[in-house]
Structure 1
Amino acid sequence: MADNDSPDPEDLEALLRQLFGGNGTAPIDPEQIQRLTGMSIDPTMLQQMMSSLQGAFSGAAGGPDGINWETAQRQALHIANQSDLGISTGQRTDIDQAFALANLWLTDATTIAELTQPARTLTRGQWVEQTMPVWQDLAEPVATSITDALLGVLDEQTPEDMKGMIAGAGRLMRSLGGSLFATQLGQVIGRLSREIVAGGDVGIPLLPAGEAAILPQNFADFGSGLEVADDQLALYLGTRELAHARLFRHAKWLRLHVISQVTEYARGVRVDPEALEDLASSFDPSEPEKLRAALESGALLPRQSEEQVAALSRLENLLATIEGWVEVVTADATARLPEAIRISEAVRRRRAVGGPAEKALGALVGLELRPRRLREAAAMWRAVTDAVGIAARDSLWDYPDFMPTAEDIDDPSALIARLQAGARGEEPVRDEMDDALAKLLAGDDTTLIEGEDGTITSRAEGASADEAADAGDGDEEPPTGPRPV
């Protein structure tokens, strides 16, 4: 501090670096800016310093939204590589042999063709590098929402006489807020790299379409408490991973469909402003772990909206449909493995519960990727397989419109009936709604009317509702009448 009690520029810069996070990862405390009004600060000096800091940190911005995804990848790789001992020749050989045999077994369990490139073994660091683009797509809407909320709280809590001085620091705030989120995401993904066993473990297509991989080091950790021979475990997990990769390669539309469902949900995430203000009011810059813990716990994300609940339900049904098929195909392909059922239950429990890092990811982005209806979906696929065979079952993945619905998971009888009718060369069963819609599409001047009893009728354009009702009041019962849809 200078003799005239004016703030020393170096001391003030140190304070601002602590406040804004000079390393680009520390949290932001909007309220501390307000406390600066009690100091004898030269406004011109503060404005110049803010401009200087903005220039110093502008390089941290990873894009127009100020989110530095390179920071996330560096953080993830730092954690992933800490105990990554690489892949030994023996591990690589064992996994490669398991993949080769699994490919042969899958030939009898599904009509979906095998991959065009061999499955791989990945280190934890390689898995991070391969999957980071997908994590970025999934997390970007949430990161943008958090940085927008930080800017909003900053603007609300900054005194009017200081808003002009910090107006040029908006990009800096966004950059630092985005960097904080990116750092937290990187830490979670790094920890996740130590839990993931195979490419399809979290249900979404993280690897490029048509690629399958196993992480040998995590494979060893997963099997340590099962008391199952490594060769059986490798065969089962290799078969499951190949089935998952085959499906996404065959149904080329499926990858985009899953990712769009996830991002649709993520775009609806909004930060709870009250929770953020409460956190800011009690936050101590010397304890940045408090904000990091709030991000990872999901404390800043409010309860799901109705739209998000609906989006989540659609996503869960989609993931369950995918993993149910994978489970049935894997079970058929590995039926000769003595411990197949035991391993299957272990995998299912693992997907239902998830590891610590996967839970942290769910809190951070407001979404847990759980196929909650996996057992019901697997039962549906088993019933379909038993009723119509492998080829007809797998044909449901040829086009998006063929996919089973949530209603089919509840009761697959109608789906089975349609497949059986198609196998006999019969036209699909049509109801009155189908016929009326066909007339509308053909240009017929009719209007659909739904009665109080749920029946569907149609009348010519221009006819009154009373005339349409009178038409059905004759003494003679018409040969065919409307039926409930």
Structure 2
Amino acid sequence: MSDLPFGFSSGDGPDRDKHGEDPESGSGASNPFGMGGNFGVGDLGQIFTQLGQMFSNAGTTTAGGSASGPVNYELARQVASSSIGFVAPVPATTTSAIGDAVHLADTWLDGVTALPAGTTRAVGWTPSDWVDNTLETWKRLCDPMAQQISTVWASSLPEEAKGMAGPLLAMMSQMGGMAFGSQLGQALGRLSREVLTSTDIGLPLGPKGVAALMPDAVESFATGLEQPRSEILTFLAAREAAHHRLFSHVPWLSSQLLGAVEAYASGMKIDMSGIEELARDFNPATLSDPAAIENLLGQGVFEPQATPAQTQALERLETFLALIEGWVQVVVNEALGDRIPGAAALSETLRRRRASGGPAEQTFATLVGLELRPRKLREAADLWQRLTDAAGVDARDAVWQHPDLLPGADDLDEPASFIDRIIGGDTSGIDEAIARLEQEDPGSDGSA
């Protein structure tokens, strides 16, 4: 991972050896907290007093008075809004042009995929609209990791320390919710001015069936490109419409994507040496300054340890993203190829944008600890194209009936065997997968 999630450090600091000893004092942790030096248990009273004064005015509850959870999302919304500033509403003529582009793209897509249209309306969003319409999904993406961060301290402490640390840890969790909310708000404010569509990062961030394009970001993206603005708008509308076909008519897809994020968070393990170092050098006076607290938490407290469960979840997520983006690329190029000569070049521009780790991927890596980078996008697109050529559109799109039918990471490296299984009639495992799908609760569509 190129970046680490909020509250994480990248490893040992320059002034600390592998045993967690201070090179000047030559000693390590001196009590269950790892607190040494001049810090004593009696100083906890001072900490509690200062924290109480700070939280008496800060507040971390919702308007209804209930706890806001591991992240203060109302603060995130306010920070994002402040970062964005005033933005004029999208003109009606622009909204109309977006609607026409999505309708035209959907008409062309009808001829190249068995999945029906998934959009119910098309809109133009300002950056503020994007934040308002995607925040609910960001909650589900960020909560698992934030929850792990807020609870892992207590679970990692020795039993004899938990009782004494309880009040402090509860308050620190609230501070973490505020700091995470502030960081999330800043990131979303920046990201809202850079994403091109509601599905730009490969996840269903917005409301189901709403195709949304960001006119200001599209204009910035088009600057310097040789294609006419109308062709670029239609190309992006086709990508948005293609994504919505998958997210609307593959009912398990959204929950599988978001479930992979949750699985990654639940597999997180923490090396407590980070909090021991923090506690040893901790100055209670910093608790009277909210800015100092945010800086303290933001500089990293934990050192994450990759686990097999996390590695598996990350590979699963990357494979899903590659398959989605590869499928979208194939059907959009097929739909627009003869109609918009520059479609292939635009696809390559977006592929390089994702492969190099664009702003969306970087923001997500920082906030959640995962890179939303479809590393094998080119391989996935090649697999879908070869499967289309060998078996046809209907057989290709039937693979989306159940997650067990999809190609795996190994199939992206060696697509020939997967294609042979499809065109050769090898249905091992397919009947069982479809049977499980039919047995699922008919009242649940499996969407997020």
Distance in structure 1 (CA, Å) of the matches to 2:181 and 2:49: 28
From 71, 77, 80, the equivalent of 1:76 is: 80
Q: Give the aligned partner of residue 237 of structure 1.
A: 236
CA contact (8 A) 1:145 1:271 kept: no
Deviations 1:8-63 (A, max 9, x none): xxxxxxxxxxxxxxxxxxxxxx9899758799x9x6x9877766666555554763
1:289 CA displacement:
6.6
Distance in structure 2 (CA, Å) of the matches to 1:355 and 1:216: 19
CA contact (8 A) 1:109 1:329 kept: yes
Larger radius of gyration: 1
1:272 CA displacement:
4.2
CA contact (8 A) 1:184 1:292 kept: no
Q: Give the aligned partner of residue 352 of structure 1.
A: 355
SS of 1:372's equivalent in the other structure is: coil
Q: Give the aligned partner of residue 405 of structure 1.
A: 408
CA 1:304–1:245 in 2, change beyond 3 Å: closer, same or farther?
same
Q: Percent identity?
A: 35
- 5+ long unaligned stretches in structure 2: 1-33, 433-448
Q: AA paired with 2:91?
A: S
1:279 CA displacement:
5.0
1:321 CA displacement:
1.0
CA 1:421–1:132 in 2, change beyond 3 Å: closer, same or farther?
same
SS of 1:302's equivalent in the other structure is: strand
Distance in structure 2 (CA, Å) of the matches to 1:406 and 1:152: 34
Q: Give the aligned partner of residue 23 of structure 1.
A: none
SS of 1:71's equivalent in the other structure is: helix
Q: Give the aligned partner of residue 315 of structure 1.
A: 317
TM-score, structure 1 normalization: 0.70
Q: Give the aligned partner of residue 294 of structure 1.
A: 299
Q: Give the aligned partner of residue 440 of structure 2.
A: none
Q: AA paired with 1:311?
A: A
CA 1:194–1:49 in 2, change beyond 3 Å: closer, same or farther?
closer
Distance in structure 1 (CA, Å) of the matches to 2:297 and 2:134: 23
CA 1:394–1:149 in 2, change beyond 3 Å: closer, same or farther?
closer
SS of 1:109's equivalent in the other structure is: coil
> Which runs of structure 2 are paired with 1:36-51 in the superposition (5 Å)?
none
Distance in structure 2 (CA, Å) of the matches to 1:37 and 1:412: 62
CA contact (8 A) 1:87 1:217 kept: no
> Which runs of structure 2 are paired with 1:375-386 in the superposition (5 Å)?
375-386=378-389
1:277 CA displacement:
4.2
1:116 CA displacement:
5.1
Distance in structure 1 (CA, Å) of the matches to 2:371 and 2:42: 45
TM-score, structure 2 normalization: 0.76
Is residue 341 of structure 2 the alignment partner of residue 338 of structure 1? yes
SS of 1:120's equivalent in the other structure is: strand
Distance in structure 1 (CA, Å) of the matches to 2:38 and 2:375: 46
1:235 CA displacement:
0.9
CA contact (8 A) 2:127 2:193 kept: yes
SS of 1:86's equivalent in the other structure is: coil
Is residue 221 of structure 2 the alignment partner of residue 222 of structure 1? yes
Q: AA paired with 2:216?
A: Q
Distance in structure 1 (CA, Å) of the matches to 2:51 and 2:296: 23
Q: Give the aligned partner of residue 455 of structure 1.
A: none
SS of 2:117's equivalent in the other structure is: coil
Deviations 1:93-135 (A, max 9, x none): 3222211211111111112111351222111111111111111
CA 1:373–1:307 in 2, change beyond 3 Å: closer, same or farther?
same
> Which runs of structure 2 are paired with 1:101-112 in the superposition (5 Å)?
101-112=104-115
Q: AA paired with 1:304?
A: A
Distance in structure 1 (CA, Å) of the matches to 2:78 and 2:427: 57
> Which runs of structure 2 are paired with 1:452-467 in the superposition (5 Å)?
none
Distance in structure 2 (CA, Å) of the matches to 1:47 and 1:90: 57
Distance in structure 2 (CA, Å) of the matches to 1:199 and 1:341: 21
Q: Give the aligned partner of residue 18 of structure 2.
A: none
1:167 CA displacement:
5.4
> Which runs of structure 2 are paired with 1:143-162 in the superposition (5 Å)?
143-148=146-151
CA 1:171–1:235 in 2, change beyond 3 Å: closer, same or farther?
same
CA 1:360–1:116 in 2, change beyond 3 Å: closer, same or farther?
closer
1:173 CA displacement:
2.6
Q: Give the aligned partner of residue 197 of structure 2.
A: 198
Q: AA paired with 2:234?
A: L
Deviations 1:289-315 (A, max 9, x none): 7446535xxx84424222211221121
- 5+ long unaligned stretches in structure 1: 1-29, 423-427, 438-485
CA 1:362–1:301 in 2, change beyond 3 Å: closer, same or farther?
farther
1:254 CA displacement:
0.9
Q: Give the aligned partner of residue 374 of structure 1.
A: 377
Alignment: residue pair count: 388
CA contact (8 A) 2:131 2:188 kept: yes
1:400 CA displacement:
2.6
CA contact (8 A) 2:263 2:309 kept: no
Q: AA paired with 2:333?
A: A
Distance in structure 2 (CA, Å) of the matches to 1:266 and 1:168: 25
Distance in structure 1 (CA, Å) of the matches to 2:302 and 2:150: 12
Q: Which moved more, 1:366-375 or 1:302-311?
A: 302-311
CA 1:270–1:58 in 2, change beyond 3 Å: closer, same or farther?
farther
From 299, 308, 311, the equivalent of 1:306 is: 308
Deviations 1:450-479 (A, max 9, x none): xxxxxxxxxxxxxxxxxxxxxxxxxxxxxx
Give the root-mean-square deviation of aligned CA atoms. 3.6
CA contact (8 A) 2:137 2:205 kept: yes
From 113, 116, 123, the equivalent of 2:126 is: 123
